[in-house]
Amino acid sequence: MAEIVASKETALAPPDVIMRAVQFFTTGKWRTQSQSERIATFAGRPPIPVMMIIMTFIGFMLCIVPGILLYILVIRRMIQLQNIVVTATPLPAGAQVVIKHSDTARQLVSVFLEALPPLTATL
């Protein structure tokens, strides 16, 4: 799966961003795979959409071949482990947060980025 990159500048220091990322993503069924002062990697399985489960079940009921195809093409791909990589780079007044993630974790990442306090410009 293709990786998507999301970024935001925040007023927090890089260790604080990583600490918040660990707290946020581990409560959402993601495991901390590695962690340092500026980088944290999380591994997990995003939830399978209910519609895909229903379509696979209907495929098995109608005929074995569509059910097997849906299982192989959709569900087996989705249950593979996926990664979220959070990188915090120091700035003079805070940190720049860059998150690499898959398309299925887009909503979770956007909620995390919105929870971070924005970097305020000092004039």
| Tens-place pLDDT, residues 41-84 | 999 877 777 887 787 788 778 878 877 877 787 777 677 788 99
- Residue 91 pLDDT: 92
pTM: 0.78
Rounded Cα distance between 71 and 58, Å, is 11
Written as six digits, the tokens of 107 are 């909503």
- What angle, rounded to 10 degrees, do the helices at 106-115 and 14-26 form? 130
- Residue 123 pLDDT: 40
pLDDT of residue 32 exceeding 70:
yes
State percent of the chain over pLDDT 70.
Answer: 93
Please name which of 21, 10, 15, 45 lies closest in space to residue 109, comparing C-alpha atoms: 21
Rounded Cα distance between 58 and 2, Å, is 29
**CATH architecture classification, 1-45+81-123:** 2-Layer Sandwich (3.30)
Which pairing describes strands 82-91 and 94-102: parallel, antiparallel, or unpaired?
Answer: antiparallel
